[in-house]
Amino acid sequence: MLDAIEDLESSDPEAMEQLVANAAFGSGHPYARSPLGTIDSVTPMGIEEVVERQLDVFVPKGATLLVVGDVRPDAVAAAGKAAFGRWDGEPASPLAALPPPTVPGVSTEVGFLERRSASTLLVCATRPLSDIRGSDAALDVLANILGRGPASRLGTTLRDRNGLTYWTSARVVRRRHARAFVACSPLKADQADVGVRLFRDVLEQMREAPPTAQEVQRAKAVRLA
């Protein structure tokens, strides 16, 4: 587990993008926390804390038994009752309702995520979607137009025209109670100033220049592929 956390905190831009996806919901929101934890939080963890979580999680209430295969339902039901009929325990505590992520009140906000080693600059734009009522399909198409693939607006500008990156990405991050929009691209460190400026220019153009019919057609094809 510590190896996986170290990968997230390393210079791997794809792993770093996972941290950015969490951060897109805002620093104070529960979805902003890494599901793996951090090296500082996991390393000192003792057996008592693990056992406490075990007593919370492994209880009958809310558990589901899944059976797949060519079986007889009555035989499976009988076997399930025989195996789990005496399983008891205190009901799990109800999950607290999560508040929607807060959309920043300012037009521009710049933040930095700490990395233990950073050999690659990763520039990202994020936005919670708690105030957006658009369909998931429309948001996915918009993300594809912005940053998915070399023919996207970010790909064309940063990669094809200027040779500043090998890949770009844009996607809708979905959690159970919230969504966020994330667009990222690694950049050559020695041309970071140019790359960040061009990245922001593309975002400004997305607001001012509606997608063309050709862009929508390509983005829909990517989504359906």
* pTM of model > 0.85: no
Query: Is 74 inside any structural domain?
Result: yes
79 and 124 housed in the same domain: no
* Alpha helices by DSSP H, the chain: 2-8, 13-23, 39-42, 47-57, 73-84, 136-147, 153-154, 192-208, 213-224
CATH number of the domain encompassing residue 217: 3.30.830.10
pLDDT string in tens for the chain (225-residue length): 556 555 555 556 666 777 788 888 887 888 887 777 777 777 778 888 888 878 777 778 778 888 999 999 999 999 988 988 888 766 666 667 788 888 776 655 555 555 554 556 778 888 889 888 778 889 999 999 999 988 999 999 999 999 999 899 999 999 888 899 999 998 887 888 899 999 999 999 998 999 999 999 999 998 887
Same domain for 77 and 137, yes or no, is no
Domain membership flag for residue 150 = yes
Q: Do 138 and 217 belong together in one domain?
A: yes
Asked if 80 and 136 sit in the same domain, the reply is no
